[in-house]
Amino acid sequence: MSKSSLQDQLLKMGLTDKKKAKQAEKHVQKQKKVQRKTGAEDETKLRAEQARKEKAERDRELNLQKKAEDEKKAIQAQVKQLIEMNRLGDEVKGDVPHNFVMDKKVKKINVTAKISDQLAKGRLAIAELEGAFELIPPKVAEKILQREADWPIVLNEKAPDTGDEEEDDPYADFQIPDDLMW
């Protein structure tokens, strides 16, 4: 049975009049209209809220990436400053070639004999800065490696300081002939 037949029955019985029936019908239709609109608005609001959350998440990720890049640049600037402030001057350049391994390749730098000996014993380190090799103290090299573990640095293990090496030589008592050829 339809609604209009129920309304007709109520009108015939005298329980309601035409004016109240029309008001009730208008009220029901208004509710349906409001319900349709709010359903669409709720869906639109949900989509907008979801889009806003996704944008906020993307922005947060981009900010974290930018912050990480900025920190990396700051660390690299600190490392460059450490190398520039602590590098040895031009007085270390000499005629003795010193070979070392960096990035699985053998590199060569010309230094004095004394500097080459210090490099071999771990009393000096080699750091790469803008394509050039710089000699720095081992403590500075350790600080650099703490900040930037991937920085190209060659630091040999420190040899114990023995002082005069001839004292430990078991053949020191034997004289070497002058005409001996190696």
Taking the CA atoms of 5, 10, 14 and 17 in sequence, report the sign of the dihedral they define.
negative
Question: Which amino acid, one-letter code, is at 134?
Answer: E
* Residue 39 pLDDT > 70: no
Pick from 57-61, 110-114, 142-146, 158-162: least confident: 158-162
Report d(CA 100, CA 68) in Å as an integer: 33
Mean pLDDT computed over every residue of the chain: 80
What is the pTM assigned to this prediction? 0.52
Q: Domain segments of the chain: what residues?
A: 1-86, 87-160
Give 92 or 138, the one with higher predicted confidence. Answer: 138
